[in-house]
């Protein structure tokens, strides 16, 4: 778990403001947030605190009304929608709470899907199938799992496949939105350990969202939504 | 085959057939309906037009005023060049062999056809009581490649602004058929019919 | 990859998709069979008579003349005299002619008097001749040849005696002069199958004791005496005419229509058939309209199915988006789905159509006299397929655009 360069920022957010519409009560204002390259950051926050909105902004699903969002020192909020989609597929691996996979596709296809959309990431993978299988192995997935339909896997297995998919092609940033919430405590620990070792081996930065403070010790840094966002009327 | 017609009978459409037919008979000299006969034999194709005066010059009475006579002469001249009336595909290599253009009265007999060209209307005054004028034109072609006539176009509709419909009877060795041609689609498809 | 995944996705919903494909295939097949039957019926219809240039009869409408002379439906209002007929056939333009005399019947089948020229000149289905299946020509005055349909329905064979009834629905029979079946014709699929054919002289013979439609009371001329009489026909109902050159047809037609001695009509069979078909076309267009409506209904059904799957697939859309798929890809995926469904439907419907036609063709030919052409797909069918695929894609845009909005607005927040 080495950090390559503390000065290199994977995420840099400056005075970002966002709300859905003028009428909506929800307003998000984040004066400053930065995540260093290689850092494992836990973002804590109650539901409704704006965590998911913040992730959507970082992933480029949403654009802020004002302010700057930089990923790998590249300003993404004034990119076109298509460029943002491309940027996301090139640079970010995403893990959701649950139902991460296309249920009808087999595990291999699910894992390789990001490579279809990102030339950059597929260039990092010489033999796609083998790479996918070896990631699965390091994630301790049973061997026969790779050819199974995603819908036939247990929830824990599905989440691990989601990790494999997020990490294939070594994207600089991995964003995980409460990936452990559907797992029991034992499985959580195993899952996090596996995820951490994979993130480390691909040199990626990890930003994980949770409401579970007990996970704090496992991360390099813990950020609480309360502390970075400014409540507005 | 009879069954189809029985279906018709049960739909009580036969009365419609007969009445539609009779109406057509009565309206034979309807303004706006010209007749065209096309016959194909060997390398020869013939076109025979019979068009009510109203469709060509806008009136069917006997032309007396200089103005009306001029109109009729002008129209006959237009018929002299068949390309004003219809066109054949150039690759059919059809050469005009003979043509006959005349102004006819309804009751005229065949032998009057023998009058060539435009002298016809000079006789008009003698038949002053007759009310229907009809333009008659017959063109005969010899074709190098008659099978190439896959369609016939009719500038006729553009040439004569009063023109209405053309009822076409068509016969060749492949059998007979009919078309109704109107200005919005001034052509007939003869592919496979020659 | 996308194509494979779309197939996977469709396969995962196999039952729904299969039923959709089946429904669309059925409607496409319905449309195609109506269209096939329509064109085949038209061909069979126009094939009823070929190589006859003109049909001549008493002054009447062309459709009526065609109906009674060729289809043996309805009645001639008048006959034409033999003298007029001779005047017509003596014209230099006439190459051959077949006189036809109608008016009597046998157990509901029309009796037609004609001469040997009929068997030589009457052609159908693009030049096929009628042939004797069994027996001989009309050699004796009281010989009769029956069509295949008559033989089949009345279970007649060569040698069976036969009584001709006067008129079409009268109770008076020409029972004093019994006929004998000398021959049975091969099946033609034309009204000839349902016709009882005798010689023109026989028609004269059975009416020797009749005057203006009524039997002369008490008069029964013995058959032996009739055989000695001059039975040359005095009038006929219609005549089929062939000309030497097609170029002379319209001239001859005009001459006949303007024949001063008697009111005559002459028609070009093809033209009259087409006129008749235009009226049949009312029914035909109705059928076509119905099948087009059915196709549209199933298109809407397909859209509804894609629509109803949207909500449960909202998460799927989010996954695609997270992988970097642009909203356009999401639209594309749904349209691709519709495209696959419609292409599969086309294939299934074509296979079903040809199987069905293959099985039913002999039955349709026998029962309705329509020979369905099952060899190829018409160019028109290909156009219809393309049009169908196009409209399926267009219709699928509706759910696709909805999915687009879902995927834009959902972002990371996914409703399950």
Q: Are strands A92-95 and A173-177 parallel, antiparallel or unpaired?
A: parallel
The verdict on a CB contact (< 8 Å) between C64 and B21 is: yes
Determine the distance in angstroms separating the CA of B49 from the nearest CA of chain C, rounded to an integer. 11
The verdict on a CB contact (< 8 Å) between C319 and A59 is: no
How many inter-chain contacts (A to C, CB under 8 Å) are there?
78
Tokens of A12: 């840099």
Residue A144 is part of a domain; what is its CATH number? 3.40.50.300
Tokens of A61: 């699903």
H-helix or E-strand spanning residue A206:
strand A205-210
- A75 part of a folded domain: no
For chain C, say whether B16 makes contact (Cβ under 8 Å).
yes
C253 falls in which pLDDT band (50, 70, 90)? Answer: very high
Contact (CB, 8 A) for C70 and C269:
yes
- A31 part of a folded domain: no
Q: How far apart are CA A15 and CA C403, in angstroms?
A: 32
Q: How far apart are CA A195 and CA B125, in angstroms?
A: 110
A147-185 burial code (b ≥16 CB/10 A, e <16)? ebbbeebeebbbbbbbbbbbbbbebbbbbbbbbbebbee
Determine the distance in angstroms separating the CA of C282 from the nearest CA of chain B, rounded to an integer. 10
Contact (CB, 8 A) for B151 and B189:
yes
DSSP state of A168: T
B30 falls in which pLDDT band (50, 70, 90)? Answer: low
Q: What is the 3-state secondary structure (H, E, C) of B118-147?
A: HHHHHHHHHHCCCCCEEEEEEEEEEECCHH
- How far from the centroid of its chain's Cα atoms is residue A51's Cα? 13
Residue-range definition of the domain harbouring residue A216: 40-65+88-224
For chain C, say whether B44 makes contact (Cβ under 8 Å).
yes
Q: Residue C316: its chain A contacts at CB < 8 A?
A: 102-103
For C348-374, how does the pLDDT look when each residue is reduced to its tens digit (9 = 90+)? Answer: 999 998 899 889 888 887 777 677 777
For chain C, say whether A96 makes contact (Cβ under 8 Å).
yes
Gyration radius of chain B over CA positions: 18
The verdict on a CB contact (< 8 Å) between A103 and C12 is: yes
For chain C, say whether A86 makes contact (Cβ under 8 Å).
yes
Instruction: List all chains that touch chain B, counting a touch as 3 or more CB pairs closer than 8 Å.
Output: C
Residue C100 has phi, psi (to 5 degrees) of -130, 135
- A108 part of a folded domain: yes
Q: What is the count of structural domains for chain A?
A: 1
Return left, alpha or beta for C287; rule: phi > 0 is left, psi -120 to 50 is alpha, else beta: alpha
B9 falls in which pLDDT band (50, 70, 90)? Answer: very low
B76-90: average pLDDT? 94
For chain C, say whether A117 makes contact (Cβ under 8 Å).
yes
Residue partners of A209: CB distance under 8 A and separation at least 6: A42, A43, A45, A51, A52, A55, A175, A176, A177, A178
Q: What is the pLDDT of residue B125?
A: 42
Q: CA nearest A103: which of C315, C91, C355?
A: C315
Residue partners of C178: CB distance under 8 A and separation at least 6: C142, C161, C162, C163
Q: How far apart are CA A59 and CA A53, in angstroms?
A: 10
Q: What is the pLDDT of residue C198?
A: 96
* C–B touching, 3+ CB–CB pairs within 8 Å: yes
Q: How far apart are CA B159 and CA B157, in angstroms?
A: 6
- A73 part of a folded domain: no
Residue partners of C207: CB distance under 8 A and separation at least 6: none
Partners of B181 in the β-ladder? B166
| Full pLDDT tens readout for chain A, 233 residues | 444 455 688 888 888 888 776 666 677 888 888 898 889 999 988 877 788 888 888 888 888 888 889 888 888 888 888 888 888 889 999 888 877 888 888 899 999 988 988 888 888 888 888 888 988 888 888 888 888 888 888 888 888 899 999 989 889 999 988 888 888 888 888 888 889 988 988 889 999 988 888 888 889 999 988 888 876 54
- A72 part of a folded domain: no
Torsion, Cα of C226, C227, C229, C231 (10° steps) = 100
Mean pLDDT score of chain B, rounded to an integer?
78
Q: What is the pLDDT of residue A173?
A: 92
For C11-27, how does the pLDDT look when each residue is reduced to its tens digit (9 = 90+)? Answer: 888 888 898 899 889 88
Residue among C61, C280, C369 whose CB faces B8 most closely: C280
More confident residue, B130 or B145: B145
Contact (CB, 8 A) for C28 and C388:
yes
For A25-35, how does the pLDDT look when each residue is reduced to its tens digit (9 = 90+)? Answer: 677 888 888 89
The nearest alpha carbon in chain C to B139 belongs to: C247
For C152-182, how does the pLDDT look when each residue is reduced to its tens digit (9 = 90+)? Answer: 999 999 999 999 998 877 667 888 889 999 9
The nearest alpha carbon in chain A to C414 belongs to: A96
Residue partners of C145: CB distance under 8 A and separation at least 6: C132, C135, C137, C138, C181, C182, C183, C184, C185, C196, C197, C198
**Placement of tokens 């309804």 in the chain:** B106
Tokens of B181: 């041609």
- A54 part of a folded domain: yes
- A8 part of a folded domain: no
Tokens of A71: 């990923």
Tokens of C160: 């069976």
- A115 part of a folded domain: yes
Q: What is the pLDDT of residue A22?
A: 65
Q: What is the pLDDT of residue A6?
A: 53
Residue among C9, C324, C413 whose CB faces A104 most closely: C9
**Placement of tokens 């019947």 in the chain:** C105
């Amino acid at each position: 778990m080495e950090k390559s360069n503390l000065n290199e920022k994977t995420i840099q957010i400056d005075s970002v403001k966002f709300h859905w519409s003028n009428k909506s009560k929800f307003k998000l204002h984040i004066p400053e947030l930065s995540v260093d390259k290689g850092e494992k950051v836990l973002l804590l926050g109650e539901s409704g605190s704006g965590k998911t909105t913040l992730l959507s902004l970082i992933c480029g699903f949403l654009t802020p009304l004002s302010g700057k969002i930089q990923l790998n020192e590249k300003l993404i909020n004034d990119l076109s929608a298509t460029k943002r989609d491309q940027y996301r597929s090139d640079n970010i691996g995403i893990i959701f709470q649950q139902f991460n996979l296309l249920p009808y596709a087999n595990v291999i296809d699910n894992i390789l899907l990001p490579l279809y959309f990102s030339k950059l990431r597929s260039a990092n993978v010489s033999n796609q199938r083998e790479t996918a299988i070896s990631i699965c192995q390091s994630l301790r997935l049973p061997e026969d799992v790779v050819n199974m339909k995603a819908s036939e896997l247990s929830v824990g297995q599905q989440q691990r496949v989601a990790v494999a998919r997020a990490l294939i092609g070594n994207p600089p940033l991995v964003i995980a939105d409460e990936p452990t919430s559907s797992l029991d405590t034992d499985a959580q620990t195993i899952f996090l350990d596996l995820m951490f070792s994979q993130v480390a081996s691909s040199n990626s930065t990890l930003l994980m969202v949770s409401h579970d403070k007990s996970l704090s010790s496992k991360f390099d840094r813990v950020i609480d939504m309360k502390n970075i966002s400014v409540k507005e009327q | 085959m009879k069954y189809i017609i029985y279906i018709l009978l049960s739909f009580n459409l036969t009365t419609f057939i007969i009445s539609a037919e009779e109406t057509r008979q009565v309206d034979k000299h309807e303004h706006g309906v010209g007749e065209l006969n096309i016959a194909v034999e060997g390398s020869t194709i013939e076109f025979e037009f019979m068009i009510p005066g109203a469709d060509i010059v806008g009136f069917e009475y006997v032309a007396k005023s200089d103005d009306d006579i001029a109109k009729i002469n002008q129209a006959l001249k237009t018929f002299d060049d068949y390309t004003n009336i219809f066109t054949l595909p150039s690759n059919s290599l059809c050469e005009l062999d003979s043509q006959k253009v005349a102004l006819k009265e309804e009751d005229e007999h065949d032998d009057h056809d023998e009058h060539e060209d435009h002298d016809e209307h000079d006789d008009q005054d003698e038949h002053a009581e007759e009310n229907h004028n009809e333009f008659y034109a017959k063109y005969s072609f010899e074709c190098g490649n008659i099978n190439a006539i896959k369609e016939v176009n009719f500038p006729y509709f553009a040439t004569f602004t009063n023109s209405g419909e053309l009822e076409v009877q068509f016969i060749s060795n492949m059998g007979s058929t009919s078309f109704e041609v109107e200005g919005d689609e001034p052509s007939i498809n003869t592919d496979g019919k020659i | 990859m996308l194509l494979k995944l779309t197939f996977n996705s469709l396969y995962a919903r196999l039952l729904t998709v299969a039923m959709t494909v089946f429904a669309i295939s059925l409607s496409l097949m319905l449309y195609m069979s109506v269209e096939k039957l329509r064109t085949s019926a038209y061909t069979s219809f126009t094939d009823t008579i070929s190589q006859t240039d003109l049909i001549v009869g008493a002054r009447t409408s062309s459709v009526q003349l065609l109906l009674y002379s060729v289809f043996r439906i309805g009645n001639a209002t008048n006959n034409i005299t033999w003298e007029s007929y001779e005047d017509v056939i003596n014209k230099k333009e006439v190459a051959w002619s077949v006189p036809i005399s109608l008016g009597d019947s046998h157990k509901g089948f029309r009796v037609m008097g004609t001469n040997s020229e009929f068997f030589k000149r009457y052609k159908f289905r693009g030049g096929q001749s009628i042939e004797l299946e069994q027996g001989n020509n009309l050699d004796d005055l009281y010989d009769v040849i029956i069509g295949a349909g008559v033989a089949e329905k009345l279970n007649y064979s060569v040698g069976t005696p036969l009584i001709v009834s006067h008129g079409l629905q009268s109770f008076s029979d020409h029972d004093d002069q019994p006929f004998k079946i000398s021959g049975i014709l091969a099946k033609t699929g034309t009204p000839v199958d349902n016709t009882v054919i005798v010689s023109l002289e026989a028609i004269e013979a059975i009416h020797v004791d009749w005057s203006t439609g009524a039997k002369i009371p008490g008069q029964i001329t013995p058959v032996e005496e009739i055989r000695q009489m001059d039975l040359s026909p005095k009038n006929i109902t219609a005549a089929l005419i062939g000309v030497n050159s097609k170029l002379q047809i319209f001239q001859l037609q005009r001459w006949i229509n303007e024949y001063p001695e008697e009111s005559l009509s002459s028609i070009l069979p093809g033209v009259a058939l087409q006129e008749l078909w235009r009226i049949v076309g009312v029914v035909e267009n109705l059928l076509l309209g119905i099948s087009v409506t059915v196709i549209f209904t199933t298109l809407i059904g397909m859209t509804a199915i894609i629509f109803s799957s949207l909500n449960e697939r909202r998460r799927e859309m989010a996954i695609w988006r997270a992988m970097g798929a642009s909203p356009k890809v999401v639209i594309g995926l749904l349209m691709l789905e519709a495209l696959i469904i419609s292409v599969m439907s086309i294939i299934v419907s074509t296979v079903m159509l040809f199987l069905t036609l293959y099985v039913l063709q002999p039955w349709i030919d026998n029962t309705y006299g329509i020979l369905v052409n099952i060899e190829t797909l018409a160019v028109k069918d290909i156009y219809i397929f393309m049009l169908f695929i196009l409209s399926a894609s267009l219709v699928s845009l509706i759910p696709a655009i909805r999915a687009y909005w879902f995927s834009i607005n959902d972002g990371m927040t996914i409703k399950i």
